Structure formats: C-alpha cells, structure tokens
C-alpha cells in the first residue's frame, strides 16, 4: 500500500470531511493540487472508485461480507476500466483503510482496539496491515480492555484464522511481486535488444555517411584539380599551327606552311599563333603522331608525349611563336604520309593539326 497516498487522503478527510468522497471531481482537483508525487495510475483508479460510489458500498456492507464485497468491487473495476488487477486490489484496500481508520470511522468499536507493535498506533481487528507504517498486524493475539487497561486473551481459533488470512495476503503479495519482477526482467531484456539493434543500425548509418563523405571529398578534389587545369583554356588560346623544316640552329630550311618533302626533313617544327594573358615562360608538351597513329618518341621523351618545348609568351592577341622541332640533324627520320601535331598545356590539349609530308 502506498503510505504517502494514504496520508494525502487522510489530510483531505481531516480538512473537508468524509462527505467529500461523494464529490469525485472535487477529490480529483484536490489530488491534482497536493498529490504531485503520487503515480497517476493510482490517482486515476481511486477517482474511478469514487465515481462508482464504491466508498458508500463499503461503508454500508456488513463486516461479515466485507471481504467478498471487496473482491466483487475489484473485479468490477478491473473489467469496466481495464486497469491492472493488482492496482485495483491495492486501490480498494486503500479505500477500506481510509474509510475504517480510527480517525475517520464514526462507528468504531471502542471495545476492540489493537496496537501496532512497530508504530504503537491503534488498529482495528480486521486490518491485516498497519495503515500508518505498513507493518503486518502481529497484535491480533492481544486485545486491550479499555476499562482495566490489561491484555485480554484471544481464542486460538481466532489467532489461527487471522494467521491464515495474513499468510494468504502475504502469499498474494509475493506472487504479485514475483510477477512484477519477471515482467521487469523481460522488459529490461527487450529494451537491451532494441538498444543493440538501434546501435547496429546507427553504425550502419555512420558507415554509409562516412562513405558518402569520402566520395564527395574525392569528387570535390577532382573538380578542384580540373578547375586549376581548365585555367589553361582561358590563359592560352592557340588559334593556328603550321609546320616547317628547320636546321639544328633553328634556321628555316622550309618555312612554316610551305610544301614539305619527307626526305628533306631535319627538324619538323611547329609555328603557332595564339591569344594569351600570360607574360612569361611556358612549357608546352607536344605529341607527334605517325601516319599509323602511333606516338613518335625517343629516349628522352616525357611520359605520354614526344617532347617538350619551353618558350616565352607575350600577353595579347594574334601573337606568333616558333616551338622546338622534332627530328635529326643528319638525316630525315620521316616517311611520306600525314602526321598529327598536338600541343598540350597543363594536361589540356590546346590544338591538334594535320601535317602532310610528300
């Protein structure tokens, strides 16, 4: 039994009288104001007993029928309100204790007083538990005579009956406690399983978002690199490429754009026309593709290219400059056919032009 709830109800009766139990809404309002620490299910169950006039039924029932009446009220409250059976029993017990306590019972029998061994307060004979300290009633063996103020013996049959009732009540409470403990353990296990499953899903989500982050980071880095490389397109724009034949000292044998014979070629040299916003040295990578499509390379060729040429550019439009040539100073390394010259800068191809040798 909730002793705190019992104290609250006792205070309400002391202040407003027992008749206040006929006004369930008023009691509900009072509980809302002063019973903040009482669990809501217990308050709700009590209000339902008041709405159904259970307190009046308990007051008017004969003592011999009290236990049977209480059981009927418990079942009625359980079925009609769908409340837990243990909560219904506890609520009816509390209502009985409040109604028949020495403080509130106007019809108490002055000849039958029992003293609680624990708190030394008076109890009624039929009470199995002290409503003040919740100790079991162990004083059913002695009865105080108000006239002589001496203990009076109680018959063994009465003692045995009281002990049996106490045993039954304690056994019921033990079963309730055991059931509640099992339910608590099961719910705890279920809760732990749910928590572990949630953590598992959370780890999966973390892994997914980590992969998404890494993928996005790689894409960003690629875009950033491409952005830097793409600057070549607007920094330098080659508008034309013509090829000529030069000697080792870079003087022209056949000027750029003239007819070229394969047998006479020493260094096949490109002349480019460009627009640029750069003033300074620039290194171009050049590919010379043979008529069969293979890349023309030598022992000193950079990876993926035939050769590189570093020149100084001037900012402005329609600028012309000659790049380094590709060949040999002693004899021609070219055969007749159509060659392709490609000029690259920072990984971007700026121009591709066909050059025909007879």
Neighbours of 330 (CB within 10 A): 8
Query: Are 164 and 18 contained in the same domain?
Result: yes
Query: Are 134 and 277 contained in the same domain?
Result: no
Check residue 263 and give its pLDDT.
95
Check residue 303 and give its pLDDT.
95
Check residue 302 and give its pLDDT.
95
Pull the structure tokens for residue 88.
């219904």
Q: CA-to-CA distance for 319 and 275, rounded, in angstroms?
A: 6
Q: CA-to-CA distance for 9 and 265, rounded, in angstroms?
A: 118
Helix (H) or strand (E) holding 348: strand 348-357
Pairing of strands 114-115, 307-313: unpaired
Query: Are 13 and 103 contained in the same domain?
Result: yes
Query: Are 164 and 20 contained in the same domain?
Result: yes
Residue count of the chain, please give it: 358
Q: Looking at the domain assignment, is residue 178 inside a domain?
A: no
Neighbours of 357 (CB within 10 A): 21
Is it the case that residue 280 has pLDDT exceeding 90? yes
Using the structure block, give the residue that is written with the tokens 């009985």. 96
pLDDT tens per residue, range 186-227: 888 988 898 888 787 777 778 888 888 998 998 888 887 766
Q: Looking at the domain assignment, is residue 47 inside a domain?
A: yes
Q: Looking at the domain assignment, is residue 208 inside a domain?
A: no
Query: Are 52 and 153 contained in the same domain?
Result: yes
Query: Are 25 and 131 contained in the same domain?
Result: yes
Query: Are 12 and 157 contained in the same domain?
Result: yes
Is it the case that residue 110 has pLDDT exceeding 60? no
Q: Looking at the domain assignment, is residue 71 inside a domain?
A: yes
Q: Looking at the domain assignment, is residue 199 inside a domain?
A: no
Check residue 102 and give its pLDDT.
46
Check residue 259 and give its pLDDT.
94
Say if CB 136 and CB 166 are below 8 A apart: yes
Q: Looking at the domain assignment, is residue 288 inside a domain?
A: yes
Query: Are 157 and 294 contained in the same domain?
Result: no
Query: Are 125 and 260 contained in the same domain?
Result: no
Q: Please state the domain count of the chain.
A: 2
Is it the case that residue 107 has pLDDT exceeding 70? no
Query: Are 23 and 139 contained in the same domain?
Result: yes
At 158, is the secondary structure helix, strand, or coil? helix
Which of 173, 196, 214 is the last residue before a domain boundary? 173
Which of 173, 190, 219 is the last residue before a domain boundary? 173
C-alpha 290: how far from chain center = 63
Q: Looking at the domain assignment, is residue 222 inside a domain?
A: no
Query: Are 261 and 150 contained in the same domain?
Result: no
Using the structure block, give the residue that is written with the tokens 């509640």. 180
Give the CATH number, domain containing residue 301: 2.60.40
pLDDT tens per residue, range 29-84: 998 888 888 888 888 999 999 998 888 888 888 888 888 898 999 999 899 888 88
Is it the case that residue 239 has pLDDT exceeding 80? yes
Query: Are 169 and 237 contained in the same domain?
Result: no
At 318, is the secondary structure helix, strand, or coil? strand
Which of 155, 173, 191 is the last residue before a domain boundary? 173
Domain span at 300: 233-357
Q: Looking at the domain assignment, is residue 200 inside a domain?
A: no
């Amino acid at each position: 039994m909730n002793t705190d709830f019992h104290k609250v109800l006792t205070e309400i009766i002391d202040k407003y009288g027992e008749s206040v139990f006929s006004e369930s809404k008023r009691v509900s309002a009072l509980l809302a104001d002063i019973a903040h620490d009482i669990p809501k299910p217990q308050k709700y169950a009590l209000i339902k007993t008041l709405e159904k006039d259970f307190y009046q039924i308990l007051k008017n029932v004969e003592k011999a029928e009290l236990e049977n009446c209480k059981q009927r009220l418990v079942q009625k409250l359980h079925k009609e309100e769908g409340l837990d059976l243990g909560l219904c029993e506890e609520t009816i017990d509390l209502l009985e204790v409040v109604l028949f306590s020495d403080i509130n019972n106007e019809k108490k029998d002055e000849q039958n007083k029992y003293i609680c061994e624990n708190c030394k307060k008076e109890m009624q004979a039929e009470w199995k538990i002290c409503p003040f300290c919740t100790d079991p009633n162990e004083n059913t063996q002695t009865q105080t005579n108000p006239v002589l103020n001496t203990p009076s013996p109680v018959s063994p049959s009465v003692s045995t009956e009281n002990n049996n009732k106490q045993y039954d009540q304690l056994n019921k409470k033990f079963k309730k406690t055991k059931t509640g403990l099992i339910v608590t353990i099961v719910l705890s296990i279920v809760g732990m399983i749910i928590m572990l499953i949630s953590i598992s899903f959370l780890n999966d989500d973390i892994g997914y978002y980590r992969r998404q982050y890494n993928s996005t980071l790689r894409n960003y880095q690629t875009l950033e690199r491409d952005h830097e490389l793409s600057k070549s397109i607007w920094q330098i724009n080659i508008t034309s490429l013509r090829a000529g034949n030069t000697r080792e000292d870079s003087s022209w044998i056949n000027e750029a754009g003239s007819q070229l014979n394969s047998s006479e070629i020493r260094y096949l040299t490109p002349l480019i026309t460009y627009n640029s916003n750069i003033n300074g040295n620039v290194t171009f990578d050049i590919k010379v593709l043979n008529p069969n499509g293979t890349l023309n390379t030598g022992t000193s060729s950079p990876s993926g290219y035939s050769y590189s040429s570093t020149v100084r550019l001037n900012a402005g439009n329609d600028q012309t400059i000659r790049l380094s040539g590709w060949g040999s100073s002693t004899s021609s390394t070219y055969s007749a056919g159509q060659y392709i010259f490609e000029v690259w800068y920072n990984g971007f191809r700026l121009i591709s032009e066909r050059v025909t040798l007879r």
